Amino acid sequence: MDEVGKNIGSKIKSIKYTSASEIIKRYSAKHVAVTGGASGIGKAMVERSANEGATVYILDVNNEAATTVVNDIVE
């Protein structure tokens, strides 16, 4: 095996497998505050953080939309 092959092999060995249960637990003891959490990228961050177990605080000027996001996650 040439030098390039050895380098690639050593990098592949260092990749760690993460199971779905480990990902879900990743934010279980964390608190996340998301500004603009009622829409767009902020909403996606809220959904992802909540799905991974975080306590999420949504900060947005649109209270109605923020409430809708919360209700969608809780259901």
Q: What is the pLDDT of residues 7-61, one digit of tens each?
A: 445 555 555 666 666 656 677 788 999 999 999 999 999 999 998 889 999 999 9
pLDDT at 19: 64
Write down the pTM of the prediction.
0.66
Owner of token pair 């409430």:
67
Residues present in the chain in total: 75
pLDDT at 13: 56
Amino acid symbol at 20: A
CA 55, CA 43: separation in Å to the nearest integer?
A: 14
pLDDT at 75: 83
